[in-house]
Amino acid sequence: MIIIGEKISVIAKKVREAMNARDPKPIQELANTQWKAGAHFIDVNTGPAEEKGEELMTWMVQSIQAVVHAPLCLDTTNASALEAGLKAHNNQWGRPLINSTSNDPERFGMLELAAKYNAQIVALTVGKGGLPADAEERCGIAAEIMARAAEFGVPLEDIFLDPLILQVCTTQDQAMHSIKAIKMFQELNDPPMKTVVGLSNISNGVPKQMRGLIDRVYLTLLMYEGLTAAIMNPLDKELMDTLKTTDVFLGKTLYAHSYLEM
């Protein structure tokens, strides 16, 4: 399982303040602890970042990669900020991941950037027509994005299809549609398409003390269907332990009494 550390997000007050003050310390610390906890990518979510977006993203990428030798997942809707981030990214630690394109023509520019900078890209299976109704509709959108990616010269193995996880407390039936989509996505190509989810969306809106449990159980089901990557919190030990245990059951890790410590 590829773990994309989600903690560096403009939504978090501490991160937002550090961004505004251009204070690298708190951001570097968050990046480093996630990396040490097992994250393979660090997500850098600067949101729309309309003002000084390019300068902000460049600063973020450089600050983080000064302390963390891992690739980053660049998460912004601002295409020029994204391009600045891709330019600043140190590919010595791995290729960057763009978050994200979709079937919305406004997001096709992201595919262009992925091709130009040899980056991997998350493709959210939504289009202009609103939220997908079920797994089949998600697959239809995925197929369209895949065709679009081919036009832009993005290889299919560089795409992570994202079925879009919706909150269980208001759209309960969607939980299984997304899981089914993970399974179906892989059948869209040989070798199978890669998949990714933003895990914590599932427990959005539920009481805080229940979020962990819901995330853990949902992750297990997704992994069983072959999920490749998750944007999640690697500092959540119970979540990480669940992931490692699921990997043992799936035969992806060799069991040893101390497997949780590895």
Partner 1 sequence: MSYVVPKESCSGKVLNVDFGKGDKALNIGGENCLPFLSFEGEILNRPVIAYEIQDIPPVDWPDTVQNAYKDVSGDPVTWAKYCQNELKAKAIALRLVSTHPDRDNRSAEDAAKTIKDVLTAIEVPLIILGSNHIEKDATVLVAAAEAASGYNCIIGKAQEGNYKTIVAAALAHNHKLIAMSELDINLAKQLNILITQMGFDKEKLITDPMCSALGYGLEYTYSVMERIRLAGLMQNDATMQPPILGDVGMYVWKVKETVASESDVPEWGTLAERGIAWEAMTATGMIIAGTNLLIMRHPKAIETVEKTIAELT
Q: Check whether the bond before 207 is cis (ω within 30° of 0).
A: no
**For residue 46, which of 61, 36, 62 has the smallest C-alpha distance?**
61
- What minimum distance in Å lies between the beta carbon of 252 and partner 1? 6
The footprint of partner 1 (CB under 8 A) covers 252-258, 261-262
Q: Give helix 174-186 / helix 208-224 axis angle, nearest 10°.
A: 30
- What minimum distance in Å lies between the beta carbon of 94 and partner 1? 12
CB 16 within 8 A of CB 8: no
At residue 184, φ and ψ (nearest 5 deg) are -70, -35
Residues contacting 112, CB < 8 A, separation 6+: 152
Compare residues 71 and 163 and give the one whose CB is closer to partner 1. 71
Compare residues 25 and 69 and give the one whose CB is closer to partner 1. 69
CA atoms within 13 A on the CB side of 29: 7
- What minimum distance in Å lies between the beta carbon of 262 and partner 1? 6
Residues contacting 257, CB < 8 A, separation 6+: none
Q: Which sign does the torsion angle of CA 170, 172, 173, 179 carry? A: positive
CB 195 within 8 A of CB 162: yes
Compare residues 112 and 247 and give the one whose CB is closer to partner 1. 247
Distance linking the first and last C-alpha atoms of the chain: 14
Compare residues 94 and 212 and give the one whose CB is closer to partner 1. 94
- What minimum distance in Å lies between the beta carbon of 253 and partner 1? 7
- What minimum distance in Å lies between the beta carbon of 40 and partner 1? 12
Q: Check whether the bond before 100 is cis (ω within 30° of 0).
A: yes
Compare residues 237 and 252 and give the one whose CB is closer to partner 1. 252
At residue 116, φ and ψ (nearest 5 deg) are -65, -40
Compare residues 21 and 256 and give the one whose CB is closer to partner 1. 256
Compare residues 175 and 248 and give the one whose CB is closer to partner 1. 248
CA 19 and chain centroid, separation: 21
The SS3 assignment for 90 reads: coil
